[in-house]
Amino acid sequence: MKYLFFDVDGTLYSHNTGLVPSAKKAIEETRAKGNKCFIATGRHLGSLDSVKDLEVDGIIFCNGGGIYMDGKVIDHQPIPHDILSSTVFAFEEREGGYSLMSDDKAFVNELEVRRRKRQIQMEEGMPPFEQMVKELGLRPFTEYRNDEILKIDIGFASEEIMSDFLTVMNPQLKLASTAGYNISLGKRSGEITRVDVNKGTAIERLMKLVGGKMEDTYAFGDSNNDLEMLEMAGTGIAMGNGFAEVKLAADFITRDIDDDGIAYAMHHFGLID
């Protein structure tokens, strides 16, 4: 039995065409052969409508902050409340936009709302703001009530401000740049988790829970938050449209997402006929 882990944005889900039909078909075929397939995403559980038609065996969400299987969250790696509080204060001091992600919600401050609206104006193919709010499960920060937070998305007005923030960021946290896919923000944006939390360590935890071996895992991704899982999986596969650093970390580079990259790689490794 093989275990396959798929990033969503830029890997399974194309912002040009949506969920790639050939990828969906390939996952159905490999599951029929007895292999297990999982989503491994930076999104939270309430923001996965884009892949709702895809049947999988589980979900790694919030960049490894949690694991969902058999209808429930079976693993949870939250940011401690005291660290979260001081980090939010550091964002506010630097007028940063932020999104605090729990299992199934994202609590955003007003600056993050403005950032999202600017992103819609600057990038082609972005949905209307109201649709984005629904798809991403965005809630105003005023609704936050001490929910456990697994991941934080951040964005600043300049790379200099981001660099300044990194000088005060708690050492128990780490930042993954979103420069690979958040084109309008580049190195001004990022995703924060605990330093020991990423998609790769989540795969390790999941393999222990199900009794699988890391050598039997395949990971598919395109951006910086996929680096660890491509490095730690038995076989790491970078999308042809992936960021340069991701391709360097991979064992195999497949075609672009819109050129049936998932199906091509799965056929190459004998995961489908």
Q: pLDDT at residue 179 above 60?
A: no
At residue 35, the pLDDT reads: 98
Residue ranges of E strands in 150-255 = 151-155, 173-177, 189-194, 217-221, 235-238, 252-253
| Position 177 confidence tier, pLDDT thresholds 50, 70, 90 | confident
CA–CA dist 92, 88 (Å, integer): 6
Return contacts of 236-241, CB within 8 angstroms, 24+ apart. Answer: 237/265, 239/10, 239/11, 241/10
For tokens 């930042």, name the residue.
Answer: 175
Q: For the chain, what is the radius of gyration of the CA atoms?
A: 18
Q: pLDDT at residue 181 above 50?
A: no
Q: Between residues 134 and 242, which one has the greater pLDDT?
A: 242
Q: Which residues pair with 231 in a beta bridge?
A: none
Q: pLDDT at residue 74 above 90?
A: yes
At residue 91, the pLDDT reads: 95
Q: pLDDT at residue 67 above 50?
A: yes
Q: pLDDT at residue 113 above 80?
A: yes
| Position 112 confidence tier, pLDDT thresholds 50, 70, 90 | confident
| Position 52 confidence tier, pLDDT thresholds 50, 70, 90 | very high
Q: If you ran DSSP here, which 8-state letter would residue 224 be given?
A: G
Average pLDDT over residues 22-47: 97
For tokens 């989540």, name the residue.
Answer: 202
Query: What six digits make up the tokens of 76?
Result: 């949870």
In terms of DSSP bridges, do strands 66-69 and 72-76 run parallel, antiparallel, or are they unpaired?
Answer: antiparallel
The H or E element spanning position 37 is strand 36-40
Q: Which residues pair with 237 in a beta bridge?
A: 220, 252
Query: For residue 252, which amino acid is it?
Result: F
- List all residues 6 or more positions away from 71 whose beta carbon is below 8 Å from its beta carbon: none
Q: pLDDT at residue 120 above 80?
A: no
Helix (H, G, I), strand (E, B) or coil at 20: coil
For tokens 């420069």, name the residue.
Answer: 179
| Position 183 confidence tier, pLDDT thresholds 50, 70, 90 | very low
| Position 169 confidence tier, pLDDT thresholds 50, 70, 90 | very high
Contact 61, 203 (CB under 8 A): no
Percentage of residues in the chain with pLDDT exceeding 90? Answer: 80
